[in-house]
A and B are shown apart, each in its own frame.
Chain A
Amino acid sequence: MGDDVMIQVQDLSAGYGDTVLLEHVSFEVKRGEIFVILGGSGCGKSTLLKNLIGLLPPLAGKVLIEGGDLATASGDKRRKILRRIGVGYQSGALFGSMTLAENITLPIEEFTRLPPEAREAIAWTKLKLVGLENFTGHLPAEISGGMQKRAAIARAMALDPQVLFLDEPSAGLDPVTSAELDALILHLRDALGVTFVIVSHELASIYAVADRVIMLDKKAKGIIAEGRPQDLRDNSKDPFVHKFFHREAA
């Protein structure tokens, strides 16, 4: 395995119990790449993401993050892998009983020996990244849905992860904020070399950030297209891929 491979998915089958959503899926994500997962609603994108971040064991096959397998690793080995990933959930998933700053200091407190002041300073810088530095003392319920999403991304970055997994980060954001988020993603990749795995439907943002996309399909139970978004738009022969990129009804 080359040193530039961040995530390796090998012959993965994903689903819940008897319901198999994806079969024999294999792909790689390179270090520093912005990798976008596309597909129709309900085709299993969030499920695939759950497999990638170790929340759901694969039905078959393997997911390796920097060579480590979350499905089998335990204890310190598992924590070591988890420390290197950050996750922004589709619903935000901020801790409702904690302020935004506390949401971010929590993982820092658990994983480092930094004094409280340093933790708070880090929290401020992370919130500043997403434009929420004036809301450090707010509870998640006291800010808007779009702000919660941004705060969740700030929290996902708390421990300077190598990979950020984002589930529909721009859903529910206005176009301006959404564009700002795209700029942030590009900036983090360029400045810090962060790898991104993003589930998204927003064509504009896909063109803006994605280096490579894969498209999943419910019927095929797997990947039906892979490549640069512009190439898929212009060259793909698959009717669904064509419709997706040209916003046509099925």
Chain B
Amino acid sequence: MFYREAGQFKTTYLADQQIFPITQDRIGVLLILAVAFVAVPMLFNEYWIKAILIPFLIFSLAALGLNILTGYAGQLSLGSAAFMAVGAFASYNFMLRVDGMPILIAFVCGGLSAAVVGIAFGLPSLRIKGFYLAVATLAAQFFIVWALTKFGWFSNYSSSGVITAQEMQIFGYKFVTAESKYLLVLSIVVLLALAAKNMVRSSIGRAWMAVRDMDVAAEVIGIRIMHTKLLAFAVSSFYCGVAGALYAYAYIGTVEPEGFNLDLSFKILFMIIIGGVGSIVGAFLGAAFIVLLPIALDVMVQEWLHGIFPPSISSNLQLVVFGGLIIFFLIVEPHGLARLWQIGKQKLRLWPFPH
């Protein structure tokens, strides 16, 4: 009854091209933001914020990055975690080596460094496609982790490349509590998500999708393939890089290159497959799912299977469930949770009259 677009006629193209053209969507988004910024810090305890909400936001950002590259521009990457690593280590070094570096600028520089590395490893995409490219991105995954471990300079010569993130401070305010870190991460993620939404509904987003759907036709229309693909790699890596920096500074605190391994890259890929390939909301839904699932499984194993199986079963169970879900979603709902979300809204539109 309340979710209706009927009667909302668009009299100008401007109105039709708003970021959320349906009024209820606009209200909904504002509501979600209000809850996220105001209610959540008041309602949730520290464990939830630290162990679930912050990683959820950070992974959403990384998934957003991968979704730009894979979902919108159609270039499958198996190296997202490595670009997160670049972001984390670059931010660390900017903080370490530049006196009085503001933390936000350090994050941006971390993202930009990741973008540069992303462009370098995106170059092969100009000549190869599909899984050839996917395999090529494994080069980024293995090489970057190796380089960060082997060259002591990156970690200020700590053993096995471990870095400890410096304190975050903006205009004298120190981000120490879980809530403050959460709000910082949330602000960054919201801004970048908005920017992503804007990009994908502008000409650059259309160019990405065009290259994804039919590259020859895209080129014939006048899209410069090289420019478009490399920009996708750059933007995507920027997002992953910032996510990596936040991962180090606002979540884990102490990270080593090995932490950004192939497994993490796959996890991010799983987020977009489950959440919805080529959807901004999907990145968030997928991240929430992948963050919550292991916790739910742990609880399940402890509650129900307690004593029947050894506790180590839970990590293997996780692998099987993750893998199984990927296959399930690819077969049953290739557009992921985002599609279900849409269907839900559609239903709501008709509610309470089913026809």
Q: Do A and B come from one complex?
A: no
